[in-house]
Amino acid sequence: MPIYEFRCPCCGVLTTELYKMGENGELLTCPNCGHAGLAKQISGFASLGVSGGPGGGNCSPRCSGNCAGCH
């Protein structure tokens, strides 16, 4: 079973998880800020310009709805 990295769209923390069939990170929670819904890290994808994020209302309270200002 392959291992993938999931990146928190809120604070950018990487979490390594075993990839399960059908899992895309939406059910994972960031161990750092508690943000629900992590993005599967794609190898070679180095963009740091994440704005907004697909999480929307799932952000932690400290996100204030804008992940760019989180932490």
In order of 8, 35, 39, 40, 59, the CA distances from 17 in angstroms are 13, 16, 12, 10, 21
For the bound state, the minimum distance from the C-beta of residue 69 to Zn ion, rounded and expressed in Å, comes to: 13
| Residue 28 C-beta: closest distance to Zn ion, Å | 11
Q: Quick check: helix, strand or coil at residue 7? A: strand
CB of 35 to Zn ion, least distance (A): 4
Binding to Zn ion (CB under 5 A): which residues in 5-34?
Answer: 8, 10-11, 30, 32-33
Residues engaged in binding Zn ion (CB under 5 A): 8, 10-11, 30, 32-33, 35
